[in-house]
Amino acid sequence: MGRGVGGGSLVNGGMAVTPKESYFREVFPDLDAGKFYSTYFPLVHKELKVNVIDEQFLKDCPYYKFTRVGEEEAHKAGFKTIRVPNVYDFQYMEKEYRNEVPRSALNTEVIYGNNHGKNSLDKTYLKKALETGNLEILDLHRVDHIKLNDDKTYTLNVQQTDTSGAAVADKIFNCQKLILAAGTMGTLKLLLHSHAMSQFPVHEEIGKSWGNNGNFMTGRNWVKPMSGGTGAKQSTIPVGGIDNWDDPEHPFFTEIAPLPMGMDVATALYLLINRVDKKGEVSYDADTRKLVLDWNESHTAGMRKNADYFIRKMNRANGGTRSHFLFNNGFGADVCYHPLGGCVLGKATNEYGKLKEHENLYVLDGSLIPGTIGVNPFVTITAIAEYCIENLIRENEFA
């Protein structure tokens, strides 16, 4: 699993969605939700440079025909739509459209990174951290495993590689305090692999309450509104969503997603985000040195029902067919943009991300969220990190 300096922010769609407060309270009943919505979420919006597309630009720009069509058809089917904020600089995008700057979002750049326009973490949090002089980034260094020492400090066994992946040097680092922020799967692998290598203590909750954030892909073909198709030109930055979360029988949030094929394929693509009522579990196979995921069709059965309900309702109102050629006969149950859980806040850790059975080890990433948050988790992960690090700083002021 490759990691860039900036993590998932380099390759995500930049969707900066704040979860519904009612669902946040359900997922984290022990957190002070009021403080999150009055303090941490606004702070994160400022730090991440969250912004919203200009409605007139959205209306006029041919690269967002897929969004306009998606919203029109959703309304016709009786669904509610919402505008989705993003960390892509929409003022930059307007300059892209006028050919005043190099193109990125309007040049189909997203899942391999954006060269321009997006305020990924290397332009926000990491930039500010570097400016303090207190951060040193060691690129091309991979932590293999961690050892807990008798004095409760940590030793990290690290391999340095060149850009082709060949080993250059083996190194040892020692530290008094350690923060893991390797993403859900990276952090879980570090913990479980270290346990297998050196009997590194891991709490019984490590690996539990894993989920895919309810990710389920689907699509529709023969989408032909009055204006015809969904557009040959498409921006890779989504700005529209369908909010069906308050439906007691079929609760979900749906991203109206781009499918930039370079021609009008009259196809609408959707990423549904659902509840995860049945959580999975991650373990480790010491022989293969790989994570093992307990996750099958039974975990996504409810998500499939929601996708089927959504597509049928959209097609009845607007025409079209399920996209049989996409995914597995139109249903993408095995897509996971947002792995979450395995080191759940308050279960595997204390209420501030300190790993149980450890005095000086903290986790600050998506593995703190128990499998689901109801929207793209980028903003929530950052808000929880702000909350946890604030306590870590306060704790060490009195150490």
Residues designated as active site: 255, 338
Say if CB 236 and CB 260 are below 8 A apart.
Answer: yes
Q: State how far the Cα of 142 lies from the Cα of 138, in Å rounded to an integer.
A: 9
Query: What CA–CA distance (Å, rounded) separates 369 from 17?
Result: 15
Q: Are strands 80-83 and 268-274 parallel, antiparallel or unpaired?
A: unpaired
How big, in percent rounded to 5, are the helix, strand and coil portions of the chain? 35, 25, 45
DSSP 8-state secondary structure symbol assigned to residue 101: S
Q: How many whole angstroms separate alpha carbon 395 and alpha carbon 172?
A: 27
Rounded to whole angstroms, what are the CA distances from 81 to 20, 221, 245? 14, 20, 11
Tokens 């990174």 belong to which residue? 113
DSSP letter for 18, please.
P
Q: Who contacts 330 (Cβ-Cβ below 8 Å, separation ≥6)?
A: 218, 219, 311, 322, 323, 324
Residue 40 carries which DSSP code? Answer: I
